Amino acid sequence: MGDVLLVYRIMPEDPEADLDAIVEDVKVIAEKYGSYKGSTVEKIAFGLKALKSSIIIPDEGGIVDELEGKLKSIEGIQSAEAVDITLI
């Protein structure tokens, strides 16, 4: 089996949220499942910002759902959705 690159769009609840703190939480969670490859800030509209975080995990059943659940449970997160999934 190979690895999977996941790119998540993570929306904070508050437009003034501390994105650096959220990135640190994402990094800790990602490293429990695979490896964290980085985050970028994406401007949405009207001052809203989202994080696009890249994570590499092993291609094994159930990990994607478990990882996504953990990302959604981060305090201050409105949503976390996979926007790209690629086998590498």
Domain count of the fold of the chain: 1
* 3, 37, 85, 66 alpha-carbon torsion, rounded to 10°: 80
What sign does the dihedral 15-45-9-81 (CA atoms) show? positive
In CATH, what number is assigned to the domain containing residue 44? Answer: 3.30.70.60
- The tens-digit pLDDT sequence of the chain (88 residues) is 789 999 999 999 998 889 999 999 999 999 999 999 999 999 988 888 999 999 999 988 888 899 999 999 999 999 999 999 999 9
Q: Which domain holds residue 46?
A: 3-87
* pTM attached to this predicted model: 0.90
Sequence-distant (6+) residues with CB within 8 A of 6 are: 54, 55, 56, 57, 64, 67, 82, 84, 85
